Copies of this chain bind each other. A is one copy, B any other.
Amino acid sequence: MLGNFTYCNPTKLYFGDDSLKYLNDELPKYGKNIVLVYGGGSIKKNGIYDEVIEILKKNGKNVAEIAGVMPNPTLAKLYEGIEIARAHKADLILAVGGGSVCDYSKVVAMSVNCDEDPWEKYYIRFEQPECRIIPVGCVLTMVGTGSEMNAGSVITNEKTKQKIGHAFLSEEIMPRFAVLNPKYTLTLPHYQMIAGIYDIFSHICEQYFSGEDDNTSDYISEGLMHSLIHSSRIANKDPQNYEARSNIMWTATWALNTLVAKGKSTDWMVHMLGQAVGGYTNATHGMTLSAVSLAYYRHIMPYGLQKFKRFAVNVWNVNPEGKTDEQIAKEGLKALESWMNELGLVMNISEFGVTEAELEDIADVTIILTDGYKTLSRKEVIEIYKESL
């Protein structure tokens, strides 16, 4: 049955090739003190930084900056950012970048008025913020995480090599607004683009591959998967195709803003496996997911056979006639594998330099979830990593 739930997603999205201008509508809603957050400086090369600064100045804002937020934002960087936001008495935190920058901005926003250690509170004890949260706005320049319209955030503790995500519950943690301009994604290297595409696909799959209920969410997921597969093939050959890139951007938002999880169980185990590898190697997030996915899905397939069969038929158009459920399900995973190869995704964790000797250590920081078709033992986690080598 469609379980009980609440849904609220008030983020205001401005989508399109002229969407940055809407910053002028949003900025007057907040006080003078803006903390601008960005990554390694690519926004300075492609001109987005200058455009944003010009709009901030025109709106009479007093700007402090947190620069150099890395792809897997670290705890040390988080502490640094909290201090900057506190000193600046931030009225709005404006994230300009991809999911890492946006994730990071949310935790800064939740930590400025909080005395407790954010790592302990949010990522170890998985608590919700009780303090006043600073509003966050987002100008998105990379696609994949859906962070622009959700309350999720992932942080890496570089000392313990733990990369942990927390899907917070309050709408107040979601960005108040997000500017989505597909043009900003056109300059992204191919590797980052396809990593983002697989991150999106994995978000959908991880909400899809759990439960056997009859649920509208699974049908919406199938629609999103069809859209993504279709557009990814166009973008893979022609990365400058605005139409394909804009469809990918829009699909990413809906793949992880809670909609397709409503009323059903979910299984984020691929993210747990991938994030453990990511915390250990600092590899690109989407690629850590692609490298562990197939081994995981092959492992759990017998426990969720009907869903894998449905996936084969509804998503990959596998003809079920004259075949056993298992054969159909396997053909679906084959089709997934061949699409992944077509895109050029990383298919093995050895490509990140992981060796068999390290698997025990990675297993040590792998969080094991219990809502999937099969709750993994530590032995099974290591087996899956071995098959992913």
Measured CB to CB, the residues of A under 8 A from B are 1-19, 22, 171, 182, 213-216, 219-224, 226-227, 230-231, 242-244, 246-247, 250-251, 254, 259, 262-263, 314
A314: chain B residues within 8 A (beta carbon): 226
In the complex, the count of this chain's copies comes to: 2
B216–A247 touching, CB < 8 Å: yes
Q: Which residues of B contact A262 (CB under 8 A)?
A: 15, 250
A4 surroundings in chain B (CB, below 8 A): 15-19
Contact A8 B1 (CB under 8 A): no
Contact of A16 among B3, B10, B17, B220 (CB under 8 A): B3
The 10 A-B pairs of least Cβ separation, nearest first, read A4-B16, A223-B223, A219-B227, A10-B10, A8-B12, A2-B246, A219-B223, A7-B13, A216-B227, A1-B243
On chain B, the residues within 8 Å of A221 by CB distance are: 223
Query: Considering the chains assembled together, what is the distance between the CA atoms of A2 and B215 in angstroms?
Result: 28
**Residue ID in chain B nearest A25 by CB atoms:** B6
The reply to whether B15 and A7 form a contact with Cβ atoms under 8 Å apart is: yes
Q: Which residue of B lies closest to A11 (CB)?
A: B8
| Smallest beta-carbon distance A146→chain B, Å | 14
What would be 7 A-B contacts, judged by CB atoms less than 8 Å apart? Answer: A5-B16, A6-B13, A8-B13, A10-B10, A216-B231, A219-B227, A246-B263
Name the distance in Å between A64's Cβ and chain B's nearest Cβ. 28
Please tell me if the beta carbons of A6 and B15 are within 8 angstroms of each other in the complex.
Answer: yes
Please, which residues of chain B bring their CB within 8 A of the CB of A7? 12-13, 15
Provide the bound-state CA to CA distance between A231 and B215, in Å.
9
- B contact residues around A230 at 8 Å (CB): 214, 219
- Whether the Cβ atoms of B224 and A219 lie closer than 8 Å is yes
Contact status of A219 and B226, CB under 8 A, knowing A11-B8, A13-B8:
yes
Q: How far is the CB of A169 from chain B (nearest CB, A)?
A: 13
Q: Are A2 and B243 in contact (CB under 8 A)?
A: yes
Q: Are B223 and A243 in contact (CB under 8 A)?
A: no
User: Which residues of chain B have C-beta atoms less than 8 A from A244's C-beta?
Assistant: 214
Check if A215 sits within 8 Å of B12, measured CB to CB. no
Report whether B5 and A247 are in contact in the complex, using a CB–CB cutoff of 8 Å: no
Contacts of A2 in B (CB 8 A): 15, 182, 243, 246-247, 250
Q: Which residues of B contact A8 (CB under 8 A)?
A: 10-13
Chain B residues, Cβ within 8 Å of A171: 12
User: Which residues of the other chain, B, contact A182 by a CB distance below 8 angstroms?
Assistant: 2
Q: Are B243 and A214 in contact (CB under 8 A)?
A: yes
Given contacts A1-B242, A2-B246, 11 further A-B contacts (CB under 8 A): A6-B12, A6-B15, A8-B12, A15-B262, A214-B244, A220-B220, A222-B223, A222-B226, A223-B226, A226-B314, A246-B263
CB-CB < 8 A to A259: which residues of B? 254
Q: A2-B246, A10-B8, A242-B1 are in contact. Are A216 and B15 (CB under 8 A)?
A: no
CB distance from A27 to the nearest CB of B (A): 16
**Nearest-CB distance from A52 to chain B (Å)?**
19
Cα distance A11–B4 in the bound complex, in angstroms: 17
What residues on B are CB-neighbors of A246 within 8 Å?
1-2, 263
Chain B nearest CB, measured from A184 CB (Å): 14
A220 engages B214 (CB within 8 Å): no
Alpha-carbon distance between A8 and B242 when the two chains are bound, in angstroms: 23
A29 to chain B, nearest CB (A): 13
**Shortest distance between the CB of A151 and any CB in chain B (Å):** 14
State in angstroms the CA–CA spacing of A6 and B14 once bound together. Answer: 5
- Distance in angstroms between the alpha carbons of A259 and B7 in the assembled complex: 15
Of the listed residues A13, A17, A222, A227, the one surrounded by the most CB atoms of chain B closer than 10 A to its CB is A227
